């Protein structure tokens, strides 16, 4: 009676991947990859200037990439972080990315999570969060809003008993991440907050 | 290279629907419907004790139902509210439920949105939120956590310039909504916060 909800990565994404279990040793390599996804997403016109991916924390194996596909997929939930999380969970076969049979997993995102992605991360089972551009960068450079993320958002993620902590590392390749945001705005990219449509 | 992300409503849900554009005149009728979905979701073993639906605000036409399908669909985002929002957006063909071609739409949910659904609602385009059981009810009766929802969450939704307000109405059939939560806990329903698996 109702259709399935289907979210699909853009076709160009396959071209960014070199092997099924590609490894990225350093945090900078992981961040450069997701910034590259954000950049391609702009160039290809497939969504907003945001990229993210789930990696194994220790070895940097790519589990699932994500880009913002809100407009194309008719889904306000489909931020880059959410797409990467949902895809990782589907691939791992569990709603809990901290399940015993999995190694510690982390989310690398080109920009600080908005209020929605903050909530997505909260219940995801991810154990670490790596951030490029800040909330202030996103809002100042693009006009995209981030919503009512708590001032002490890092502290809330890192200390949340009885839930396990989610460690946060910020400002990884921040300038490079900001450059993509700036390019999007300068090229007149759509800012699709629900007030502007 | 990567699979699609697919979320599917449980098959029993079709049996709860009487016609494609079923109408529910009062808020109580709309709430009774989503509580019934929560109840069936328990009985059928298809997910947590939560139901939600998107309706047209003025006429009460059902646009999209949702139930919690986190465990079955391997997706920590698939709370009842999120499923209803994503399905409504897919059906309406837009990420913005406040698009000009749509009438004002509302979300009716059997329990107060958690931190994740709070963020989902923020960007959804929904114009009104109708709530049954409270956060305190959910946490006290089931053990499910709601996360760091702001104390002044109603105020933040109702007054958020430059975004349009989302009006909140609470405590609609609250006792009936609590009864479903209580039944879930008493029957040993799985509480799947990521710490307990």
Question: Is the per-residue pLDDT at A154 higher than 60?
Answer: yes
Separation of first and last alpha carbons in chain B:
29
Confidence category of residue B194, pLDDT binned at 50, 70, 90? low
Contact A120 B119 (CB under 8 A): yes
B126 contact partners, CB below 8 Å, separation of at least 6: B54, B85, B97, B98, B105, B106, B107, B166
Contact A116 B125 (CB under 8 A): no
Fold observed for domain B20-186: Cytidine Deaminase; domain 2 (3.40.140)
Q: Helix B115-122 crosses helix A115-122 at what angle (to 10 degrees)?
A: 150
Mean per-residue pLDDT, B76-99: 98
Among the listed residues B112, B140, B148, the one whose alpha carbon sits nearest the alpha carbon of residue B34? B112
Interface test with A, best of B100, B119, B159 (most A CBs within 10 A): B119
Q: Which CATH code is given to the segment(s) A21-186?
A: 3.40.140.10
Among the listed residues A59, A17, A11, the one whose alpha carbon sits nearest the alpha carbon of residue A34? A17
The answer to whether A171 and A134 are in contact (CB under 8 A) is yes
Residue pLDDT, tens place only, A17-62: 887 779 999 999 999 999 999 999 999 999 999 999 999 999 999 9
- Give contacts of B163 with chain A, Cβ < 8 Å: 145, 193-195
Contact A74 B83 (CB under 8 A): no
Question: For residues B114-139, b (16+ Cβ closer than 10 Å) or e, as one string?
Answer: bbbbbbbbbbbbbbbbbbbbbbebbe
Mean per-residue pLDDT, A162-171: 97
The answer to whether A133 and A111 are in contact (CB under 8 A) is yes
- Give contacts of A116 with chain B, Cβ < 8 Å: 116, 119-120, 122-123
Q: What is the Cα–Cα distance from B174 to B55, expressed in whole angstroms? A: 19
**pLDDT given for residue B63 in this prediction:** 97
**pLDDT given for residue A195 in this prediction:** 47
Strands B128-133 vs B167-169: parallel, antiparallel or unpaired: parallel
The percent of residues in chain A predicted with pLDDT above 90, rounded, is: 90
Mean per-residue pLDDT, A69-92: 98
Contact B75 A95 (CB under 8 A): yes
Q: How many CB pairs under 8 A join A and B?
A: 187
Question: Is the per-residue pLDDT at A15 higher than 70?
Answer: yes
Contact B125 A194 (CB under 8 A): yes
Contact A77 B83 (CB under 8 A): no
Confidence category of residue A196, pLDDT binned at 50, 70, 90? very low
- Give contacts of A94 with chain B, Cβ < 8 Å: 74
Torsion angle (degrees, nearest 10) of CA A91, A4, B85, A34: 30
pTM of this prediction? 0.96
Contact A2 B120 (CB under 8 A): no
Alpha-carbon distance B162 to nearest alpha carbon in chain A (angstroms): 7
The answer to whether B85 and B126 are in contact (CB under 8 A) is yes
Separation of first and last alpha carbons in chain A:
30
Contact B77 A86 (CB under 8 A): yes
Domain ranges of chain B: 20-186
What number of residues does chain B have? 197
Alpha-carbon distance B159 to nearest alpha carbon in chain A (angstroms): 12
Question: Is the per-residue pLDDT at A145 higher than 80?
Answer: yes
The answer to whether A64 and A73 are in contact (CB under 8 A) is no
Q: What is the Cα–Cα distance from B20 to B37, expressed in whole angstroms? A: 16
């Amino acid at each position: 009676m109702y259709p399935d909800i289907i979210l699909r990565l853009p076709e160009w994404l396959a071209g960014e991947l070199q092997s099924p279990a590609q490894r990225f040793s350093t945090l900078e390599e992981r961040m450069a990859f997701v910034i590259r996804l954000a950049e391609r997403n702009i160039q290809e016109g497939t969504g907003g200037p945001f990229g993210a991916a789930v990696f194994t924390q220790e070895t940097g194996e790519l589990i699932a990439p994500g880009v913002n596909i809100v407009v194309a997929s008719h889904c306000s939930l489909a931020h880059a972080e959410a797409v990467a999380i949902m895809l990782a969970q589907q691939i791992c076969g569990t709603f809990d990315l901290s399940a015993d049979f999995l190694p510690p997993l982390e989310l690398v995102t080109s920009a600080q999570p908005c209020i929605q992605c903050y909530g997505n991360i909260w219940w995801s089972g991810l154990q670490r969060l790596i951030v490029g551009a800040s909330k202030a960068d996103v809002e100042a450079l693009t006009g995209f809003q981030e919503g009512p993320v708590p001032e002490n958002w890092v502290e809330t993620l890192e200390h949340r008993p009885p839930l396990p902590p989610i460690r946060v590392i910020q400002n990884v390749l921040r300038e490079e991440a900001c450059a993509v945001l700036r390019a999007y705005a300068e090229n007149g990219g759509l800012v699709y907050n629900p007030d502007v449509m």
